[in-house]
Copies of this chain bind each other. A is one copy, B any other.
Amino acid sequence: MANAIIGQSGGPTAVINSSLAGIFKTARDGGIKKIYGMKNGLAGLLREEYIEVDWYIKNEFDIELLKRTPSSWLGSCRYKLPDFEEGSSVYERIFKILNKLDIKYFFYIGGNDSMDSVAKLARYGENIGSDIRFIGVPKTIDNDLDKTDHTPGFGSAAKYIASVVKEIILDNMVYGAESVAVIETMGRNAGWLAAASALSKSEECAGPDLLCIPEVPFDYDEFYNKIEELRKKKKSIVVVVSEGIKTADGKYLCEANNMRSRDVFGHASLGGTALYLTDFLRTQMGIKTRENILGSLQRSASHIVSRTDITEAFMAGGYAVHMALDDETGRMVTFNRLSDDPYRIEVASHAASEVANIEKKIPGEWITKDKGFVTQECISYIKPLIQGELFPFMVDGMPLHIYL
């Protein structure tokens, strides 16, 4: 049997290494000879930077530790493959390296840009008659991949966000004085992460009072009025806002504050939305504010993860190996939901080309009529994804990780 190679691409998640562990374990147990890991995804592969995974992951404990290690263990990249009609030299180089390593199975764990790479590589392979199988494993905290019920990584980010929002809600009411806490989540064009904060709503917690998500154009007057309405009812107000909210004319709220560059995909680096809003609340409305920008921890907090998510991430990796061994290529692993309660899914797959470059947003019918919250249907959709815990291995008071 030939060899396999695994890459991780795009922003990390708390469970991206669980998918890596799932691929590695299933490939190893399935008799694949050598299992390579690209360092920093395709960008690293093009520089012939790779490792043999079993030099580092030697036993079942290492696999468990890898599952509990945040960030991308192999390193990541934001490399975008050119269309091969524009020039095939990069493709020739990649296939030359893969052939040199006797790779037959290529696994790429990533978001929609990564699925674009999987689709392109599979198509190029087909064109040149290569037998290398290219399989994508979905990964993104943003939950914005199409053709799958949800993405590995989202459940843990959702659990993290809902848990810390619940803590910040308690924190914000401590002085009994009027105060608006603005909590900024990631989310460029889709509001899934901000919506996850609604799961903090429970018997003993009122949840956030207002969500501002990219699916709803931001309107200053409406925001002002909603806050004024809330002020009449309560002193401690909590607003959760996606970093990527825009006004109706398509301008990011944070753009005025933001002096940063765009990434290689042309995506603006966002940030500053919460600061902008707290400034608005202070200067225009005279309210005491506090902002909490959840930052990198949304994608790297492995000290609180969803066991459902980490298990599904592992399973998606394993399924990818079975697909490759079954001679499939150019496809991404997907989840179909069979029911919310009891929660049941089936694992399936879809053409990666049809996933790439589409961003799945919160459907309009899951946004409340006043545009300031999500419906019970949306909450019921997210809730199963945050169930269960997998605590880190604690050594000397600290979570243990595995480093490359």
Interface residues of A (CB under 8 A from B): 11-12, 39-40, 44, 69-72, 75-78, 159, 162-164, 166-168, 170-176, 181, 199-200, 202, 204-205, 259-260, 279, 282, 290-293, 295-297, 299-304, 306, 383, 386-389, 391, 394-403
Contacts and interface: CB of A to CB of B under 8 A. Distances in A.
Nearest to A386: B397
Q: Which of A39, A163, A279, A397 has the most CB of B within 10 A?
A: A397
A353 to B, nearest CB: 26
A399 B166 contact: yes
A71 B173 contact: yes
Number of identical monomers bound together in the oligomeric complex: 2
B297 A403 contact: no
A282 B199 CA distance: 37
18 contacts: A69-B170, A70-B167, A70-B170, A75-B175, A76-B174, A159-B398, A163-B398, A170-B300, A171-B296, A202-B396, A202-B398, A259-B279, A290-B295, A290-B296, A383-B397, A387-B396, A389-B391, A391-B391
A200 B398 contact: yes
A170 B75 CA distance: 9
Given A397-B159, A397-B386, A397-B388, A301 B164 contact: yes
Contacts of A172: 296
Given A167-B300, A175-B78, A401 B295 contact: no
A160 to B, nearest CB: 9
B292 A205 contact: no
A168 to B, nearest CB: 5
A397 B12 CA distance: 22
Interface pairs A-B: 9 shortest CB-CB: A71-B170, A171-B300, A386-B397, A292-B295, A387-B397, A167-B300, A204-B403, A40-B176, A171-B296
A262 to B, nearest CB: 12
Given A71-B167, A166-B398, A205-B401, 17 more contacts: A44-B176, A70-B167, A71-B173, A75-B174, A75-B175, A76-B175, A163-B303, A167-B303, A170-B300, A202-B396, A259-B279, A260-B282, A291-B295, A292-B295, A292-B297, A304-B304, A391-B391
Nearest to A78: B175
B397 A171 contact: no
B174 A71 contact: yes
Contacts of A296: 167-168, 171-172, 181, 290, 292
Given A176-B44, A290-B296, A391-B391, A170 B399 contact: no
Contacts of A395: 202
Contacts of A78: 175
Contacts of A44: 176
A10 B71 CA distance: 36
A301 B296 CA distance: 16
B401 A170 contact: yes
A44 B176 CA distance: 9
A172 B174 CA distance: 33
A303 B171 CA distance: 14
Given A159-B397, A167-B70, A75 B387 contact: no
Contacts of A76: 174-175
Nearest to A271: B291
Nearest to A385: B397
Nearest to A297: B164
A175 B40 contact: yes
Q: Which of A71, A295, A304 has the most CB of B within 10 A?
A: A295
Given A40-B176, A293-B293, A299 B398 contact: no
Contacts of A202: 395-396, 398
Contact of A171 (B40, B199, B299): B299
